[in-house]
Amino acid sequence: MSSYDVLVIGGGNAGLAAALTARRAGARVLVLERSPRELRGGNSRHTRNLRCAHAAPTHILTDAYSEEELLADLERVNEGETDEPLARLVAARSADCVAWMTAFGARFQAALRGTLQLSRTNAFFLGGGTALMNSYYAAAEKLGIDVRYGAEVTALKLRNGAFQSATVMANRATSEVRASAVVVAAGGFEANLDWLHEAWGDAARNFLIRGTPYNTGTMLRALLDAGAAPVGNPSECHAVAIDGRAPKFDGGIVTRLDCVPLGIVVDRNAERFYDEGEDVWPKRYAIWGKLVARRPGQIAYAIVDAKVRDLYMPSVYPAIEAGSTAELAQRLELPAERLEETVAAYNRAVQPGSFDHTALDGCRTSGLTPEKTHWAQRLDTPPFAAYPLRPGITFTYLSVRVDADARVLAADGTPFENVYAAGEIMAGNVLRKGYIAGIGMTIGTVFGRIAGKSAARHAKH
């Protein structure tokens, strides 16, 4: 049986932040990563940036973004439901993340070309999250952190609220790893289809998982079973409408579709069901996952015409094209008459206006249920193009409760002696609903560092 000061379960951003911090504090550290080396890094490998407060422009961030503003953004998306002291901690500690990350080899994009107008609030990793994880793993190796790939922790052994050892399955053999302290940074349960089924019923069978297939929530379940206090809605997940042709797992960023506001969206019965032009897409894409999840068969189709084809980011899958609505219906296997009626009714309801896809242009329909309130133009210019939409799950909200030292708390509020959590497995403390770009990486980095420091300190005593 091998023995370490600090055992880190999970090799994503939070796990590596914890491991690097603990190692720097002098601890002997082991990281157990469930995936093979080539797919290491959990969902962090699909990320692109991290949200961070800063007082003045830097070479990678424009303008200024105060801690108060970051906190306000967090409270807004959570509709006030956040653990305020912890949210405040995330906002405050976000400020020095970039410097800390850079010290471990992370590289960032220059601010001017930052996409999505996020360069004020978010620092973009040069090459994305996979490049960031490569830097971290290289730094870990250099510092003498042990890393085991393909190593799944199947159980945690605790005695009187104290972690004793972890049961590890690797190469079809089981072993025990002892450690003075454990940092659990093993993500949520979004890749566990059975668990999703519990919350969503049969609809879950048609969900696509945007990230790693390894986040099955084994550690989340183990901690909850050991008496950790849950936090966050157990059936909530962050779901985005993505291209329905995406792979079941790990489709990542390229499966997104940005064309919804520019056309109409119909379900399997060729009926519209929601205002496609309610707001700009970055503010609406996250509600469309659940909208589609509630439609029959968990599928919908975004339909645009030739007028807007150059106005959205290309999808990785080709549009399904047709010269007429009837032909399109045939291609999509939708009831043709119904689709023609839906499009005709929509076209009749479109009010005159001056279309501007870059602003809330007020081009709307009138007398339609549901209305389309912006960017409503007639669908009249062939070829028509359609993209299937399905719910793409990014992450789940259910988490274990932690304190400001990243210690996992039991139901009665007392902390476990030597069990810490970081990353998605505890993000629900701060994030109860909604999402703001890059905040997952901020929570992971901030709490990863705190957990690493706390765990190393505990191990020394």
Asked whether position 206 contacts another protein by CB under 8 A, the answer is no
Size of the site for another protein (CB under 8 A): 33
Q: Which of residues 19-78 bind another protein (CB under 8 A)?
A: 36, 38-39, 45-46, 48
Q: Which stretch binds another protein (CB under 8 A): 160-168, 196-204, 270-278, 309-317?
A: 309-317
Asked whether position 105 contacts another protein by CB under 8 A, the answer is yes
Q: Which stretch binds another protein (CB under 8 A): 174-182, 217-225, 250-258, 323-331?
A: 250-258
Give me the least distance between CB of 8 and another protein, in Å please. Answer: 20
For another protein, the closer CB: 124 or 195: 124
Question: Left (φ > 0), alpha (ψ -120 to 50) or beta: where does 442 sit?
Answer: alpha
For another protein, the closer CB: 36 or 370: 36
For another protein, the closer CB: 48 or 93: 48
Asked whether position 109 contacts another protein by CB under 8 A, the answer is yes
How far is it, in rounded angstroms, from Cα 407 to Cα 93? 17
Asked whether position 311 contacts another protein by CB under 8 A, the answer is no
Asked whether position 131 contacts another protein by CB under 8 A, the answer is yes
Residue indicated by tokens 């009187």: 160
In single-letter form, the type of residue at position 47 comes to T
How far is it, in rounded angstroms, from Cα 338 to Cα 232? 41
Q: Name the DSSP class of 152.
A: E
CB 79 within 8 A of CB 248: no
Give me the least distance between CB of 116 and another protein, in Å please. Answer: 10
Asked whether position 383 contacts another protein by CB under 8 A, the answer is no
Give me the least distance between CB of 128 and another protein, in Å please. Answer: 3
Give me the least distance between CB of 365 and another protein, in Å please. Answer: 29
How far is it, in rounded angstroms, from Cα 140 to Cα 105? 11
Question: Left (φ > 0), alpha (ψ -120 to 50) or beta: where does 218 sit?
Answer: alpha
Q: Which of residues 178-197 bind another protein (CB under 8 A)?
A: none
Among 315, 377, 396, 399, binds another protein (CB under 8 A): 315
For another protein, the closer CB: 252 or 428: 252
3-state class (DSSP) for residue 2? strand
Asked whether position 135 contacts another protein by CB under 8 A, the answer is yes
For another protein, the closer CB: 3 or 115: 115
Among 130, 164, 324, 347, binds another protein (CB under 8 A): 130
Q: Which residues are registered as beta bridge partners of 350? A: 365
How far is it, in rounded angstroms, from Cα 402 to Cα 409? 5
Q: Which residues contact 294 (CB under 8 A, 6 or more apart)?
A: 203
Asked whether position 428 contacts another protein by CB under 8 A, the answer is no
Among 55, 99, 138, 344, binds another protein (CB under 8 A): 138
Q: Which residues are registered as beta bridge partners of 183? A: 8, 420
Asked whether position 107 contacts another protein by CB under 8 A, the answer is yes
Annotate 325-345 with DSSP letters as a single string: HHHHHHHHT--HHHHHHHHHH
Long-range contacts at 78-81 (CB < 8 A, ≥ 24 apart) = 78/430, 78/431, 78/432, 78/433, 78/434, 79/433, 79/434, 81/432, 81/433
Enumerate binding residues for another protein (CB under 8 A): 36, 38-39, 45-46, 48, 105, 107, 109-110, 113, 115, 126-131, 134-135, 137-138, 247, 250, 252-254, 256, 310, 313-316
